[in-house]
Structure 1
Amino acid sequence: MRFNSPLSAALSGQFLLEDSAVPGFLAQLAQLLTATSTAPGQPRPDGALQPAACFAISADATSVQLRGYGSLDEVPAGSVAVTVVRGVMMPEDDYDWDYGYVPGTRTLGARIQQADAHPNIIAHVGHFITPGGSVMGVESFADIVAGTTKPFVSFVDMMCSAGAWSGCGADKIVVGKTGITGSIGTKWDGLDMSGYLEKMGLKQVTVTATESTEKTRAFDEALKGKPALLRSQMLDPLNDVFVAAIKQYRPNATPDTLTGKLFVGQAAVDAGLADQVGSLQDAIQLAFDLAGEAGSVVGSTTASSFSSTNPQSPTMSLFGNKNKTTALTAVLALSGQTGLTAETTKAANEELAAAGITDAAIITQSEYTDLVAKAGQVATLTASVNTLTADKTKLTTDLATANTALTASQAEVTRLGALGGAAPTTAGKAEGDQQDAPKAHAWFDKNADHNKDAEALLS
């Protein structure tokens, strides 16, 4: 590899790179400084041969041999797009004398987005063979991987540092038996070349503007053995963002994964940085499986089965179409395990709400059991309320009927009270009245029982 942007970025501290890749850059620097570099001196050839615009594998393939296509329109329907992230990750395309044309993360991200929108593609596989790379562009690239609407599976040969950030947002992660991932952390390596330059008779003179008192101060102090300012101004803030992304995409990862430690094969699965150990063929089969499950839910193209050596490929749930958030991916990964917590589901629900999904929510099994019990109590109380409401309605009706009868009775009493004879009088002879009272007929018997009763009533 010739002296190009990866080396200059590494020396300027703009890298999230696994340490094992750094000595190679330092060796190149030593060769250049001692004029013993064997790197080709000619410029990048004009019109350097570039690989196919896209790589994919169809459902009827019998091996994992990928085929290149000039455009997505040439890809057979129902295929899985395969994106290879190889070497040191840089934002822009480059040409390496060992590997030829190397697409940057900007180009790789654009290809993933184009494939995600094309009807011939039903899923993605990201094949990671990278120790990490430039800080520039890695966040955007990671967001693209996590944001695909079709299932995305990351396969790990080496997925370290910036590579781990980029690939961890996939639906599933398959790691090879010797696959390496981790190196999640932030570090700066600087070279104090002042002594070497002095031996060459060179002296560096630095002048800053009057108001540029903080210009490169953090790096200058770090080279003098005072790293506190660089750590607080750059390393810790960058690391906070890096770690937050890992926690978001892989919430069941163990605490030691965030310390910069490396994990190989099964250890990566045990640490929560991968979902299963397998081959690239297994990763492709898993992508077809996820696409098939998603197709049964959302009506997209259903994939045929791809030849697989792994009979235990996990299946997806209702959310297999990846119309979901990264936290929701974590919830699905934890489904059926004891590690699913209220905090995890809360984070997923917050992201669902932020995405405008308000008619669905995630709850834990214990919360669901509690809700079922409360629903039973509510049903019982509702039945009681309905009974009391019916009783109240009947009593209201009976009271209205009684009030009507009472009103009618009061009216009848008033009517009877207004009739004549209500105030009885006594018979008597008015003063001055000379008319004799009529005499009773001989046939009138005042001692008869009925006449006695009538007299008693009139008296």
Structure 2
Amino acid sequence: MKICIVEINNTNFFALDKNTNSLLNSNWMFSGDSKNILMPFLLNILNNTKNEFSLNPTSFLQASHLNAVNPFDFDKPLENKVVAIIQVHHPIFKYDQMCGPKGTQTIMAILESWKSNDNIIGVVMDYNSGGGQGSGTREVARYIFEYPKPIVSYTNDLCGSAAFYLYSAAKYRFINQYADFIGCIGSMSYSIDLQGAIEKSGGKVNEFYADSSPEKNLQSRELKKGNERPLIEKMLNPNADLFHSDIKDFMPSISDKALKGDVFTPDEALKEGLADSFGTLQDAIDKVIELHNASDNSNSNSNTNNNMNTTQLPSLQSVLGLDAPLASTEENGTYLNAGQLETVENRLVELDASNTALQTQLDAALANTEAQEQLTAVNATVTGIEASIDGMLTSAGLDVTGTLTEKATALSAKVAEMGGKDGAIHTNPKVDVNNEATASNVVGGVDITGAMNN
């Protein structure tokens, strides 16, 4: 960790490097007293001394034999397929610490280099950390979540706040049943006022603001007055909201209780959805291999499917309830894939259930004597009506066949036609004059001789 003294107008100012500036100006995601581990770092900044205590740097292990691999040799070709292990046994920092842990930016860069290394099939991230800097944590968490190779999380100690942010983003998450605790989801601000130290060294801190800048540094100005609300509302609440949103994206089954900031034992962690299952480091390694093999099989099937044709059979697809066309090859013909087979199976179950229900209804209807008698009576009435209509059609000189509805329609049309004639002109009955036996000049008691056969 570097610090420079820059002399301007005989006054000493601290010119901090990128890492130190990030440490002093970042919000934090810590659990419990884990924040106290920062104190030696910050004191060394003020005293311009190097760290005299030891923290394990982020290390990488070859999973096949768990032999340590120099973290700076991660580009070195590997002879065998391996699972890489990243130990995060330290506070979370954005940038590398001198003689200390690797920062999340470096971890992300190393993971990026492993994308193209075919011998590294996946990664286990082993956590023992109470959290750390909020700055940069969301970036690497999203990176882990979208990483193309399987990343599996594991903890046998504690995993809180910023560390849990990274832990949650993996493809699968193990917790040892003897681990300490996990969780502490949320955002906090750890305020460090260096003004006293600067003034003790002979410096003096003055703040002046333009009239047009009443809200500049409003949060820190209000904090000095004892009002923390602007800081909470402007900084902490939005960070916590993003934290919650990402955690729900990574772990949809997590409980609302787990999001309130408390820590949980391993048993409670499984209950509240903070971990997927109990396991050991070896279980985590095996899970990476399992996920890698599953991905390989999926890619193999995908490549095979790319050489296949698809056949559109809309009628068959409709009957089977399929949305996608059927795959086919010249050698094997047309077939159903696993998803389509499941759809067909479900469809057959539905049809079988529907057929059973209809048969039950039919049996009930046939067993209903009263309904059968009513149906017979209705059929007889309909038959009589149809016979009457046939007689009227014959009398009207119409030869109509078809359904009862069609016959009734023809008869109605004839009635309408007759009703449209002039009622003042009588219809002249044609008496058969060649058949004297039936001839008569009286119809209904009226002599119609004068009008006959006109």
Superposition TM-score, scaled by structure 1 size: 0.55
In structure 1, runs of 5+ residues without a counterpart are: 42-49, 301-358, 382-401, 404-459
The residue type equivalent to 1:85 in the other structure is V
Q: Is the 8 A contact 2:195 2:205 kept in 1?
A: yes
Query: SS state of the match for residue 239, structure 2?
Result: helix
> How many angstroms does 1:191 deviate by?
3.8
- The C-alpha deviation readout for 1:95-135, integer Å capped at 9, x for no partner, is 433x4xx4322221232233234322222211223332322
In 1, Cα distance between equivalents of 2:97 and 2:348: 61
Alignment partner of 1:121 is 2:123: no
Q: Is the 8 A contact 2:44 2:50 kept in 1?
A: no
| Length, aligned pairs only | 313
| Cα separation, 1, equivalents of 2:109 and 2:202 | 48
Secondary structure of 1:230's counterpart equals helix
Q: Deviations over 1:261-296 (max 9, x none)?
A: 122433322321112233222211222233233334
**Contact 2:26 2:133 (C-alpha < 8 Å) held by counterparts:** no
- Mark the CA change 1:161 to 1:296 in structure 2 (over 3 Å): closer, same or farther: same
User: By how many angstroms is 1:220 displaced?
Assistant: 1.6
Aligned to 2:232: 231
What residue identity is the alignment partner of 1:122? I
- The aligned amino acid for 2:25 is S
CA deviations on 1:372-428 (whole Å, 9 max, x unpaired) are: 7656578999xxxxxxxxxxxxxxxxxxxx99xxxxxxxxxxxxxxxxxxxxxxxxx
Distance 2:21 2:338 in 1: 49
Q: Could you say which residue in structure 2 is the equivalent of 1:143?
A: 142
TM-score by length of 2: 0.56
Q: Which amino acid aligns with 1:172?
A: Y
Report whether the alignment pairs 1:88 with 2:79.
Answer: no
Shift of 1:235: 0.9
Counterpart residue identity of residue 66, structure 2: V
Question: Which residue of structure 1 lines up, in the alignment, with residue 188 of structure 2?
Answer: 187
Residue in structure 2 matched with residue 20 of structure 1 by the alignment: 33
**2:152 aligned counterpart, secondary structure:** strand
CA distance in 1, matches of 2:40, 2:114: 39
Distance 1:173 1:267 in 2: 15
Question: What's the CA shift for 1:151?
Answer: 2.0
Aligned partners of 1:188, 1:209: CA distance in 2, in Å?
27
SS in 2 for 1:178: coil
Alignment of 1:1-400 (within 5 A): 9-26=22-39, 29=42, 39=50, 55-57=61-63, 61=64, 63-68=65-70, 70-72=73-75, 74-92=77-95, 94-97=96-99, 99=100, 102-156=101-155, 157-176=157-176, 177-192=178-193, 203-299=204-300
Shift of the 246–32 alpha-carbon distance from structure 1 to 2, 3 Å rule, reads closer
Cα distance, 1:141 vs. partner? Answer: 0.8
Aligned CA distance change for structure 1 residues 380 and 299 (closer, same or farther; 3 Å): same
- Higher relative contact order, chain-length normalized (CA < 8 Å, sep 6+): 1
Deviations 1:33-73 (A, max 9, x none): 6x6x86469xxxxxxxx999x6432xxx3x43343483556
**CA deviation after TM superposition for structure 1 residue 236, in Å:** 0.7
- RMSD of the alignment, in Å? 4.4
Shift of 1:240: 0.3
Q: CA deviation at 1:197?
A: 6.5
> 2:29 corresponds to which letter in structure 1?
L
- Work out the CA distance in 2 between the residues paired with 1:232 and 1:372: 57
Residue identity opposite 2:98 in structure 1: D
Give the letter for the 1:20 counterpart: D
Q: CA deviation at 1:213?
A: 1.9
Residue 389 (structure 1) aligns with: none
Instruction: Note the C-alpha offset of 1:142.
Output: 0.9
Question: Cα distance, 1:244 vs. partner?
Answer: 0.8
* Alignment partners' CA distance in 1, 2:346 and 2:276: 30
C-alpha contact 1:64 1:281 (8 A) present in aligned 2: no
**Conservation of the 8 A alpha-carbon contact between 1:112 and 1:144:** no
Unaligned runs of 5+ in 2: 4-16, 302-336, 358-400, 403-454
Distance of 1:225 and 1:113 partners within structure 2: 44
Paired residues of 2:123 and 2:152 also in contact (CA < 8 A): yes
Give the partner amino acid of 2:103: G
Letter of the 2:93 counterpart: M
Secondary structure of 1:74 counterpart: coil
